[in-house]
């Protein structure tokens, strides 16, 4: 499938490389193409484009920009280029203005995922993968042989099913359907615990498993 | 050990009953003693007292009041009665002013646990158990045979060790030391995910296990 990944950081790079490896036609969208030239030399199947070109290219899109810049990046991508498409939002609204550890820019009664959905009502926003580090997103079997959970939230049941299938292609075994997009308030808030787990364990190669 | 449990809800009742069962001398502190008479008839080892009486009674104390009322309840308990003692804070700063699901009254750059510690600097605040429902707090083996984690946060290493020993007496196998009290920002924020898990699974008899 043609897919567009918005962002140029480790998450965007990791997603693009993995999706290309799985046979998808990937464009990575950035305002800083030069920053990606070195990376691209070992990922030659991935095309570099602007945000708008990348959004136009993809039948399915990924928001892997930094949370504070996501709404602006998506505006640059263009409302028409996003319309009708599944947008997998893997970002977190981290607020580093007070230093580390960060707080969140939106919280409790709203979420970044919902802000994006309201800003782009014709786009089918699916929140997922934001609770794990970049490597775990795309290679879940590298943590506890995949015996842990990823969460998925969306108002669009069909979009959620499409993204669940994609997650399974990454190797995800346990995909936990939390419900509508407002449940992203939970997974975004969880980042504040994740950051502390990361701090304690000195590795991001971790995740949670829901036990009952 | 003489212990005081502040609060009169399900969490306070469950903690008091379990601690009494384990042989501790328990007083439960409330402003509404009448509310507890029926419960007490089947928990006759537990004494009912005021907040101040309960704080004076306990060598170790539990804050099991509702988060929004915790600072006021602790003020009523009395700074002198709390001084020098370990206070196990199991509360969450849930804000139901906007309906259900709740938000939090404090978040990101602060936590209820830290607010309590600042208000009562001579008290040894330990945050734990707030990430599970009342029954799981005291009977962890009833979920997945105990194969899941409880978190613990405190600035006082010795207090943390004492509370860890108590948690083990409840049956907790995996006690995750997150670090200083600021890490309670993580476990308090996690409540917003927990509430969504509860909503999806229709049971509070759940928890997370950290996988690596």
**DSSP alpha helix (H) spans, chain A:** 10-21, 33-41, 51-57, 70-77, 79-82, 112-119, 134-138, 157-170, 184-201
Taking the model in full, what pTM does it have? 0.97
pLDDT at residue number A54: 98
pLDDT at res. A110: 97
Q: How far is A116 from chain B (nearest CA, A)?
A: 20
How far is residue A20 from each of residues A26, A27, A53, measured CA to CA in Å?
A: 6, 9, 17
Q: Given an 8 Å threshold on Cβ–Cβ distance, is B211 in contact with A207? A: yes
Least confident of A174-178, B98-102, B111-115, B192-196: B98-102
Phi-psi region of B39 (alpha: psi -120 to 50; beta: other; left: phi over 0): alpha
Residues of A in contact with B98 (CB under 8 A): 109
At B92 the pLDDT is: 98
Q: ipTM score here? A: 0.97
d(Cα A180, Cα A92) in Å, to the nearest integer?
17
pLDDT, tens digit, 9 for 90 and up, residues B79-108: 999 999 999 999 999 999 999 999 999 999
Dump pLDDT digits (tens) for A100-124.
999 999 999 999 999 999 999 999 9
Q: What average pLDDT does range A54-64 have in this prediction? A: 98
DSSP-derived 3-state class of residue A184? helix
Residues of chain A in contact with residue B183, where contact means CB-CB under 8 angstroms, are 196, 199-200
CB A110 within 8 A of CB A131: no
Nearest to A99 by CA among B175, B131, B108, B129: B108
Q: Which residues of A touch B (CB under 8 A)?
A: 95, 98, 101, 103-104, 107-109, 143-144, 147-148, 151, 176-179, 183, 185-187, 189-197, 199-201, 203, 205-212
Of B95, B187, B209, nearest to A209 by CB-CB distance is B209
pLDDT tens per residue across span A151-160? 999 999 999 9
| Chain B, nearest residue to A208 by Cα | B210
Are the C-beta atoms of B160 and B122 separated by less than 8 Å? no
Label residue B168 by pLDDT band (50, 70, 90).
Answer: very high
CA-nearest of A137, A116, A131, A130 to A19 is: A137
Give A67→chain B minimum CA distance, Å. Answer: 16
Q: Tens of pLDDT along B29-84?
A: 999 999 999 999 999 999 999 999 999 999 999 999 999 999 999 999 999 999 99
Q: Measure the CA–CA gap between A191 and A186, rounded to whole angstroms.
A: 9
Q: Is A41 exposed, middle or buried (0-12, 13-18, 19+ CB in 10 A)?
A: exposed
Q: Which pLDDT does position B98 carry in this prediction?
A: 92
Question: What is the structure's pLDDT at B161?
Answer: 98
Binned at pLDDT 50, 70 and 90, residue A61 comes out as very high
Sign for the pseudo-dihedral over CA of B38, B39, B45, B51 = negative
Q: Taking all residues of chain A, what is their mean pLDDT, rounded to a whole number?
A: 97
């Amino acid at each position: 499938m043609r897919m567009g990944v918005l962002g140029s950081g480790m998450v965007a790079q990791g997603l693009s490389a993995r999706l290309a490896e799985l046979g998808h036609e990937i464009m990575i969208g950035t305002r800083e193409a030069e920053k990606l030239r070195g990376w691209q030399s070992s990922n030659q199947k991935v095309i570099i484009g602007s945000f708008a070109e990348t959004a136009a290219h993809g039948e399915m899109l990924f928001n892997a920009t930094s949370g504070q810049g996501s709404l602006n990046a998506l505006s640059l991508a263009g409302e028409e280029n996003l319309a009708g498409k599944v947008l997998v939002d893997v970002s977190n609204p981290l607020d580093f203005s007070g230093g580390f550890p960060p707080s969140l820019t939106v919280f409790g009664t709203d979420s970044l995922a919902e802000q994006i959905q309201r800003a782009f009502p014709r786009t089918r926003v699916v929140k997922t993968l934001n609770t794990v580090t970049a490597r775990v997103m795309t290679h879940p079997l590298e943590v506890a042989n995949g015996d842990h959970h990823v969460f998925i939230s969306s108002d669009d049941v069909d979009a959620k099913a499409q993204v669940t299938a994609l997650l399974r292609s990454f190797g995800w075994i346990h995909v936990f359907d939390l419900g509508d997009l407002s449940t992203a308030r939970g997974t975004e808030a969880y980042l504040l615990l994740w950051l502390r787990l990361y701090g304690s364990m000195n590795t991001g190669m971790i995740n949670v498993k829901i036990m009952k």
